[in-house]
């Protein structure tokens, strides 16, 4: 490929250098002609000046026809090698004297200009303003020719030297230009990081298949949580991982199949023909199977998975852009369903995607227009029933959609940065409510708010909370931040660092849904937390198989000096079990539902405060009435 590409370049270089030589030759010819005209003009001017000198010296001799005196006037010409001949004539053109002085030598026959090798010049002989004769000199141009030849030789030497220097420079420059052009052609169709075909080549293959009327299947893949690799190990490690992924997937492909890198951590494969399409799901599963073995990047073993979406042409789309969009929709469906799986496009998925986009856009408007509200669910002392805090739970009432469940809009917000704005609104609103209750004389109630995974990675979060606490005057210990156990499992080191920064400000920290994972148990001693919240699944399994797990969690928490909240208490039996097991706090429908701030104040903050908090009467009576 390279040899054939260089042949036209070499021919072009030869033509360019020949052209440059011809231009140089033409320029030299024009220059020599100009020089010849200038030198000839210079010689003629000198000869005319000499002729005028002779004319002024020989005026008397010419006037009186003194041949001897005229010859003496011409004698000094012997010292001028450029003068071939000379003649003094009277006003009737009669020869008086000539040079050289040979007898009978009359240069009158050659008095006209002689041509290239010599020329004649003349000057009038004037006496008292009357022309009495003329002096004629024949000038030899040999010396002028010698000067011209000298200039020509110098020009040729300089031109050859310039050509000798220019040729390799031109050759090198041409090679570099050709190399740059080849690189641009390569980059137009190949990805520089993975050396796979790029999006341009991908679009070209789709267009080619469409033009031939072939059926096609598009498999679109996206690495799961690839951003974390870039964030933790750097972009160089991310590039190395992409290269390994490209090689590993390519090894699983058949002949004639090409893997495309569309950008970022997104890859695509186009299958052409009915046979390939029939096996498209098996092909996609085989590709995901290549991720079973870990990738070694920078000496670290990384477990990486991918999600894939499949779309068929022309079954699922009328335009190629729609085909790619449908595969993308299916791929994100696979991610939402748990990642590391394959999803095949169906028309309903587009409807789901459009609905999600509508929810996301409406949520942006909801944050700005006051459609959001916090409800508060009480957390009470398990022994006495006294109110010790509350959890702030987000509620959204849309003007046309009505009440939108958090399970619908929270996952959509978590897909992008919208969860950051939403989380900040919740923190700000909770702190403002604490401040309002304090101004009403209810004291500083501790309120817990939930942090998403993205919030725990938001480096600006501690500074934002500082600003909110300062603006509202709420003490830091009145705010409790809850993070799920899954957040700790994703990146323990990063989570510990962020939680430590928050706890250093006096904020209280709790692990929500504790017991659903296992990694946090190993790191529990180094986590800067104050409280564990037992997952609802274990609480609701009491009495029964959940008792052993709940008892183990309580024992472990006491060993680390942590308080425990049993979340999801719905029966008196569950309340009694956790009270007997010495669980510190209870939360759930049996205790009280999440209600708006005004309702919460009227139901819970009207009771007098004891040493441990506020307690309504009849704690031992069933509390289901508050449901």
In this structure, are residues 243 and 194 in contact, taking their beta carbons and an 8 Å threshold? yes
DSSP state of 109: G
Residue at token pair 């696979």: 334
**Are residue 436 and residue 575 in the same domain, yes or no?**
yes
In a domain, 401, yes or no: no
Chain centroid offset of residue 596 CA: 46
For 41-78, the pLDDT digits (tens) are 887 888 888 888 888 888 787 888 888 888 888 888 88
SS3 of 267, please?
strand
Q: Name 389's bridge partners.
A: 379
CA distance 563 to 385: 16
Query: In 3D, which of 386, 422, 390, 382 has the Cα closest to residue 594?
Result: 390
**Are residue 219 and residue 130 in the same domain, yes or no?**
no
CA distance 491 to 13: 59
Query: In 3D, which of 206, 185, 338, 213 has the Cα closest to residue 268?
Result: 206
**Are residue 564 and residue 427 in the same domain, yes or no?**
yes
**Are residue 212 and residue 132 in the same domain, yes or no?**
no
In a domain, 157, yes or no: no
Q: Is 218 exposed, middle or buried (0-12, 13-18, 19+ CB in 10 A)?
A: buried
Could you say which of 107, 126, 145 is where a domain stops? 145
- Domain range for 43 is 2-145
In a domain, 350, yes or no: no
**Are residue 320 and residue 376 in the same domain, yes or no?**
no
Chain centroid offset of residue 592 CA: 52
For 474-531, the pLDDT digits (tens) are 999 999 999 987 777 666 677 788 888 999 999 999 988 887 665 455 667 778 889 9
Could you say which of 307, 327, 345 is where a domain stops? 345
For 196-216, the pLDDT digits (tens) are 999 999 999 999 999 998 889
**Are residue 574 and residue 500 in the same domain, yes or no?**
yes
Calculate ∠ Cα 389-394-400, nearest 5°.
Answer: 150
Residue at token pair 């052209």: 19
Place 588 in a pLDDT band, splitting at 50, 70 and 90.
Answer: very high
Higher pLDDT among residues 293 and 184, named by residue: 293
In this structure, are residues 369 and 391 in contact, taking their beta carbons and an 8 Å threshold? no
**Are residue 327 and residue 425 in the same domain, yes or no?**
no
CATH number at residue 552: 3.20.20.450
Describe the crossing of helices 199-211 and 142-189 by its angle, rounded to 10 degrees.
70
In a domain, 356, yes or no: no
Number of structural domains the chain divides into:
3
Q: How far apart are the first and last CA of the chain?
A: 78
Contacts of 519 (CB under 8 A, 6+ apart): 485, 488, 489, 492
In a domain, 155, yes or no: no
CA distance 324 to 321: 5
Contacts of 48 (CB under 8 A, 6+ apart): 121, 123
pLDDT number for residue 155: 80
Query: In 3D, which of 407, 381, 385 has the Cα closest to residue 394?
Result: 407
Q: Is the pLDDT of residue 108 over 60?
A: no
For 73, the token pair is 């006037």
Q: Is the pLDDT of residue 376 over 90?
A: yes
- 213 vs 75, 249, 313, 400, 409, CA distance in Å? 104, 27, 10, 46, 42
Phi first, then psi: give them for residue 542, nearest 5 degrees: -105, 135
CATH number at residue 259: 3.30.70.270
For residue 519, what is the enclosing H or E element?
Answer: helix 519-523
Tell how strand 585-587 and strand 372-381 pair up: antiparallel
In this structure, are residues 52 and 60 in contact, taking their beta carbons and an 8 Å threshold? no
**Are residue 245 and residue 318 in the same domain, yes or no?**
yes
**Are residue 321 and residue 382 in the same domain, yes or no?**
no
**Are residue 337 and residue 387 in the same domain, yes or no?**
no
In a domain, 154, yes or no: no
Quick one: average pLDDT of 575-581?
94
- 316 vs 215, 273, 280, 390, CA distance in Å? 11, 16, 14, 50
Place 218 in a pLDDT band, splitting at 50, 70 and 90.
Answer: very high
Q: How many CB atoms lie within 10 A of CB 102?
A: 8
Quick one: average pLDDT of 570-585?
94
Place 613 in a pLDDT band, splitting at 50, 70 and 90.
Answer: very low
**Are residue 334 and residue 381 in the same domain, yes or no?**
no
**Are residue 451 and residue 580 in the same domain, yes or no?**
yes
For 247-267, the pLDDT digits (tens) are 999 888 877 788 999 988 999
- In angstroms and rounded to an integer, the radius of gyration of the C-alpha atoms of the chain is 50
Quick one: average pLDDT of 226-247?
88
Q: Name 508's bridge partners.
A: 480
pTM to 2 decimals?
A: 0.65
Could you say which of 125, 145, 165 is where a domain stops? 145
CATH number at residue 86: 3.30.450.20
CA distance 218 to 326: 9
Q: Among residues of the chain, what percentage have pLDDT more than 70?
A: 89
Contacts of 471 (CB under 8 A, 6+ apart): none
Calculate ∠ Cα 55-143-47, nearest 5°.
Answer: 15
DSSP state of 478: G
CA distance 556 to 524: 9
In a domain, 23, yes or no: yes
Per-residue b or e along 64-96, where b marks 16 or more CB atoms closer than 10 Å to that residue's CB: eebeebbbebbeebeebebbbbbbbbbeeeebb
Q: What's the mean pLDDT when you consider all of the chain?
A: 83
In a domain, 193, yes or no: no
Higher pLDDT among residues 539 and 122, named by residue: 539
pLDDT number for residue 517: 60
Place 219 in a pLDDT band, splitting at 50, 70 and 90.
Answer: very high
pLDDT number for residue 607: 54
Tell how strand 585-587 and strand 563-567 pair up: parallel
CA distance 364 to 63: 118
The least confident of 104-113, 344-353, 602-611 is 104-113
Quick one: average pLDDT of 377-395?
94
For 316-337, the pLDDT digits (tens) are 988 999 999 999 999 989 998 8
pLDDT number for residue 380: 95
Contacts of 601 (CB under 8 A, 6+ apart): 437, 440, 442
For residue 141, what is the enclosing H or E element?
Answer: none
The least confident of 10-14, 181-185, 267-271 is 10-14
């Amino acid at each position: 490929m390279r040899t054939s590409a260089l042949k036209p370049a070499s021919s072009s270089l030869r033509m360019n250098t020949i052209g440059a030589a011809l231009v140089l030759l033409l320029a030299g010819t024009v220059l020599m002609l100009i020089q010849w005209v200038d030198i000839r003009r210079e010689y003629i001017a000198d000869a005319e000046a000499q002729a005028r000198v002779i004319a002024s010296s020989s005026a008397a001799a010419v006037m009186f026809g003194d041949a001897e005196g005229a010859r003496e006037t011409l004698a000094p010409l012997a010292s001028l090698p450029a003068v071939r001949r000379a003649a003094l004539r009277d006003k009737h053109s009669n020869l008086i004297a000539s040079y050289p002085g040979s007898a009978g030598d009359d240069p009158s026959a050659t008095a006209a200009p002689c041509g290239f090798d010599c020329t004649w010049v003349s000057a009038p002989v004037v006496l008292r303003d009357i022309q009495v004769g003329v002096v004629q000199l024949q000038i030899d141009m040999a010396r002028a020719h010698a000067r011209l030849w000298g200039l020509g030789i110098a020009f040729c030497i300089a031109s050859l030297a310039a050509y000798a220097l220019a040729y390799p420079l031109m050759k090198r420059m041409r090679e570099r230009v050709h190399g740059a052009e080849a690189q641009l052609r390569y980059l137009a169709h190949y990805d520089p990081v993975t050396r796979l075909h790029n999006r341009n080549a991908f679009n070209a293959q789709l267009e080619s298949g469409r033009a031939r009327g072939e059926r096609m299947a598009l498999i679109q893949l996206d690495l799961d949580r690839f951003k974390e690799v870039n964030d933790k190990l750097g972009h160089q490690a991310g590039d190395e991982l992409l290269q390994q992924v490209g090689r590993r997937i390519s090894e699983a492909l058949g002949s004639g199949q090409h893997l495309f890198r569309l950008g970022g951590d997104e890859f695509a494969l186009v299958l052409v023909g009915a046979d390939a399409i029939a096996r498209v799901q098996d092909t996609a599963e085989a590709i995901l199977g290549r991720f079973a073995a870990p990738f070694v990047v920078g000496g670290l073993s990384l477990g990486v998975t991918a999600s894939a979406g499949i779309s068929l042409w022309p079954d699922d789309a009328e335009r190629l852009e729609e085909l790619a969009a449908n595969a993308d929709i299916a791929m994100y469906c696979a991610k939402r369903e748990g990642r590391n799986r394959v999803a095949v496009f169906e028309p309903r998925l587009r409807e789901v995607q459009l609905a999600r986009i509508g929810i996301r856009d409406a949520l942006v408007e909801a944050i700005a227009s006051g459609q959001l509200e916090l409800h508060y669910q009480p957390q009470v002392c398990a022994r006495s029933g006294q109110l010790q805090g509350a959890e702030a739970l987000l509620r959204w009432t849309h003007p046309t959609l009505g009440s939108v469940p958090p399970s619908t809009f929270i996952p959509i917000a978590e897909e992008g940065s919208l969860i950051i704005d939403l989380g900040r609104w919740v923190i700000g609103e909770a702190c403002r409510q604490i401040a309002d209750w304090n101004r009403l004389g209810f004291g500083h109630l501790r309120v817990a708010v939930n942090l998403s995974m993205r919030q725990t990675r938001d480096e600006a979060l501690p500074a934002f909370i500082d600003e909110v606490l300062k603006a509202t005057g709420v003490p830091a210990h009145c705010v409790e931040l809850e993070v799920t156990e899954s957040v700790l499992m994703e990146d323990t080191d990063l989570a510990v660092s962020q939680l430590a920064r928050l706890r250093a400000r006096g904020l209280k920290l709790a692990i929500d849904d504790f017991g659903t994972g296992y990694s946090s148990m190993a790191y529990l001693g180094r986590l800067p937390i104050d409280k564990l919240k037992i997952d609802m699944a274990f609480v609701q399994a009491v009495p029964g198989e959940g008792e052993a797990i709940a008892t183990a969690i309580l024992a472990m928490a006491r060993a680390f000096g942590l308080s425990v909240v049993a979340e999801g208490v719905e029966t008196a039996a569950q309340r009694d079990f956790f009270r007997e097991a010495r669980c510190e706090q209870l939360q759930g429908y049996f205790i009280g539902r999440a209600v708006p701030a005004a309702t919460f104040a009227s139901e819970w903050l009207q009771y007098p405060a004891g040493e441990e908090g506020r307690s309504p009467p009849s704690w031992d009576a069933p509390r289901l009435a508050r449901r």
